[in-house]
Amino acid sequence: MYEAELQSIVGDVRRAFETKSVDEALLAELYGAYADVGDTALFVKQILGSFPHLACGAATIYLRHRLGLGAIIQGRYGEENHTFFQMDDGTIVDITADQYGGPKTYIGKLQPPWSLKT
């Protein structure tokens, strides 16, 4: 995937969450297949209302759906448990690090403050 195409998709996904224009039914379906949170539709409404706070898992799942490749990583941002996306070439993509004071979007190498859980 070309860098410009990746940046475009990442920006589109971030804007969809910021403007709450994500397809809620699709996101609920995707998240429901990932984790059991009970009422997935209610969960999706709550995370869209608090984005980027507590939305890293759902945003990453939706991002993976849009990109069609890569892995969902349960890692850390500093001292915080955090979910982000890793492409097949090792590049990480994070669209919710700003909940911890990080950038709104990050595309780059796995480096501090991002880390894998040990």
User: Average pLDDT, whole number, for the chain?
Assistant: 95
Asked if residues 51 and 59 have their Cβ atoms less than 8 Å apart, the reply is yes
Asked if residues 106 and 56 have their Cβ atoms less than 8 Å apart, the reply is no
Nearest CA to 48 out of 26, 31, 24, 73 is that of 24
CA 22 – CA 17 distance, rounded (Å):
6
pLDDT, mean of residues 107-117: 95
Dump pLDDT digits (tens) for 8-59: 999 999 999 999 999 999 999 999 999 999 999 999 999 999 999 999 999 9
pLDDT at residue 2, as a whole number? 79
Domain that includes residue 32, residue range: 3-116
pLDDT at residue 1, as a whole number? 62
pLDDT, mean of residues 65-93: 95
Backbone angles phi, psi at 113, to 5 degrees: -90, 0
User: Percentages helix, strand, coil for the chain, rounded to the nearest 5?
Assistant: 45, 20, 35
CA 14 – CA 32 distance, rounded (Å):
21
CA 81 – CA 12 distance, rounded (Å):
25
Total domains in the chain come to 1
CA angle 56, 85, 79 (to 5 degrees): 55
